[in-house]
Amino acid sequence: MVHSPSFTIVNVYQGRCPVYHVDLYRLTSELALRTVGLEDFVGRDGVTIIEWGERLGEYVDAALIVELEDAGGDERIIRTVQTV
């Protein structure tokens, strides 16, 4: 199970490859963003999933933006919105 890391900022899940789940909601400045240590895992082994990714600004060179929509019950609609 993956849970939103709102209070810890970053959760790491081990599997076939590491998944780094980052929630930037509580970060209010570029200085706070730099203290997260994104450079330790973005662009390295594994997958980094970032909630509130619009707070990254120009921090990441390339990203796949995914939109999730509630379709009722346990169903979700997943769309690729944009590649940057």
The domains of the chain, with CATH numbers, are 10-83 (3.40.50.300)
The tokens describing 1, both together, are 């199970």
Q: pLDDT tens across 23-35, in order? A: 888 887 877 888 8
Q: pLDDT tens across 12-63, in order? A: 888 888 988 888 888 878 778 888 888 888 878 888 888 888 887 766 666 7
The fraction of the chain above a pLDDT of 90, given in percent, is 12
Whether the CB-CB separation of 68 and 78 falls below 8 Å is answered with: yes
Q: Where are the beta strands (DSSP E) in the chain?
A: 10-13, 19-23, 47-51, 64-70, 76-83
